[in-house]
Amino acid sequence: MTTTPPYTVRIRPVDPPRRRRTGLALIVGAGVVLLATGGAVAFGVATAASLRTESSSESVAGVAEVVIDVDAGFVALRGGTGPDVEVRTTRIWAPGSEPVVERRLEGGVLTLTSDCPAFDLGCEVEREIVVPAGTSVRARTVASDVEAVGIDVPRFTATTVGGSVTASFSVPPDEVAVQTVSGDALLTVPPAAYRVTTATVTGRERVDVAQDPADGRTVSVRTVSGAIEILPG
């Protein structure tokens, strides 16, 4: 058996994407006031003119699983017809708040990470990923939404604190596991029987798919205050 050592692929700059910006753009040009014990501390948020944007794209072969770890920003996944994983990364930051992005390919696992300075509002990373059929996905975010459209994956796992998870599948997945704190979890799965487990503290639930406790296909969704929807489609 031949083992391929970890390596990093140089990525090439491309034009900035046209995707609508997420939370960072909504606060650009505004002031944020944090009320603290003993007084109010005002934080000025960078103006649009001071923001920097940098985008890059790469194609990665030999991937069996994609692992994404994002602090603040957005994760967008869609199903692909080719054999390679296509990754487009957009970094947006204010002076002094540049995010650090890393990627690693080892043993068929492509790991994409991004980190912003702690408690910094002027930092965001967007990951747009085309996922080939049969490639598993794991995503973890802090304040980022996860959106997956038409993916053909055996296993899909998404965990987020302040973001929502929306996912649709082109073929019945073997295993889906989603956990959120305040975000909604909205899943659309092809018609089939699934072993479904849900749990929420204050969120509403709607499960309209066929269920079979003995089935090998599992869907598990847990939230604290977010809504849960599992629908056929």
From first to last of its 233 residues, the chain has per-residue pLDDT tens of 444 444 333 333 333 333 444 455 444 444 433 334 343 333 444 446 689 999 999 999 999 999 999 989 999 999 999 999 999 999 999 998 999 999 999 999 999 999 998 766 789 999 999 999 999 999 999 989 999 999 999 999 999 999 999 999 999 999 999 999 999 999 999 999 999 999 999 999 999 999 999 989 999 999 999 999 999 99
pLDDT at 2: 40
pLDDT at 119: 61
Assess contact for 200 and 223: CB atoms under 8 A: yes
7 DSSP assignment: B
Assess contact for 95 and 46: CB atoms under 8 A: yes
Q: Report in angstroms the alpha-carbon separations of 212 from 32, 178, 185, 197, 216.
A: 49, 19, 21, 11, 9
Tokens 């930092």 identify what position? Answer: 123
pLDDT at 36: 40
d(CA 76, CA 65): 16
pLDDT at 48: 60
What is the number of other CB atoms lying within 10 angstroms of the CB of residue 110? 21
pLDDT at 24: 52
Assess contact for 194 and 218: CB atoms under 8 A: yes
- Could you tell me the sign of the dihedral formed by the alpha carbons of 71, 74, 78, 84, in that order? negative
C-alpha closest to that of 197 among 178, 217, 221, 229: 221
